Amino acid sequence: MRRIVGLFIFCIAMIACSEKPKSDIPTSNETPALNDSTNKIVVLLYEGFTMLDVIGPTQSLGLLENVEIITVAKEKGLITSDNGLKLNASHSLDEITSAYILVIPGGLEGTIKASKDTSITNWIKRIDKSTAYTTSVCTGAWILSSTGLMEGKNMATHWYGKEILESKGAIFSPDRYVFDGKYATSAGVSAGIDLGLALVGKISGKEYAEAVQLGLQYDPKPPYNSGTPETADTAITSMMREMYDYAIQNIR
């Protein structure tokens, strides 16, 4: 895989240096440049995390130049996601002290528990001092906002997560993803894919991100039109909301 990433970077560099007219690449002056040495994309894992929250952004971010994706949990080893699939946490929290990008995925019961676990929230505060971007996907925003770092800052989260997010001092944004300084947060689950591509564009430019998008053939065509409460059947939305309420009632 390292070989294909190297090829990818070489190809995009060739395109960027070609003589065709330049398009409006949104270079981002405030983004700290990628280092020549390895840049760590650090993903926090915990029991019950949502797998797509992790894979959505990292499938894109893993194609940045000189990056390594590192998975971290309270204890290293296999961590079970919300659909039963297990991802390996290569490091424990105390082994990782910095990150270029920190990714905090969401979930439900496990996410509430993680947001109350000071060993996790204190670790996030430490890592955040070193990051170019600190990010969350879906209800990962509950954990990130529990650190106190997001007081008065704009954040996106799952449509169900608005109230809990606001109770932690952040400002809920209904956008698909939102940047507030170096804090980049997305709406529910699948929104992490959009956030990942937007981050690639911020860091390495529009054409780089477009190449990544083409590689992922990200030309979505949902077979139904039920991705938000605004478009879904109201009975389905109500039931889902009640289900989530019930699931977390004793741990909230």
7-46 binders of a second copy (CB under 8 A): 7-8, 11-12, 14-15, 18, 20, 23
Closest approach of Cβ 20 to a second copy, in Å? 6
Q: Which stretch binds a second copy (CB under 8 A): 32-40, 143-151, 165-173, 190-198?
A: 190-198
Of the candidate spans 54-62, 113-121, 128-136, 164-172, the one that interacts with a second copy by CB under 8 A turns out to be 54-62
Per CB under 8 A, the segment of 30-38, 55-63, 111-119, 120-128 that binds a second copy is 55-63
How far lies 140's CA from each of 106, 192, 198, in Å? Answer: 4, 11, 18
In angstroms, rounded to a whole number, what is the distance separating the alpha carbons of residues 210 and 206? 6
Distances (CA, A) of 57 to 20, 30, 129, 154, 224: 30, 21, 21, 20, 23
By the rule CB under 8 A, 170 interacts with a second copy: no
C-alpha 47/C-alpha 79 separation (Å) is 6
Question: Tokens 């990544």 identify what position?
Answer: 212
Q: Is 152 in the site for a second copy (CB under 8 A)?
A: no
Task: State the DSSP code for 145.
Answer: H
Catalytic residue among 138, 150, 189, 209: 138
Q: Give the type of residue at 187.
A: A
Q: Specify the residue, 174 or 181, whose C-beta has the smaller distance to a second copy.
A: 174
Q: Which of 44, 48, 103, 132 is in the footprint of a second copy by CB under 8 A? A: 48
Tell me how far apart the alpha carbons of residues 137 and 111 are, in angstroms, rounded to a whole number.
11
Does residue 237 bind a second copy (CB under 8 A)? Answer: yes
95 binds a second copy (CB under 8 A): no
Which residues, other chains included, contact 47 with Cβ-Cβ below 8 Å and sequence gap of 6+? 79, 80, 110
The residues facing 44 across adjacent strands are 72
- For position 154 contacting a second copy by CB under 8 A, the verdict is no
Which residues are known catalytic residues? 138
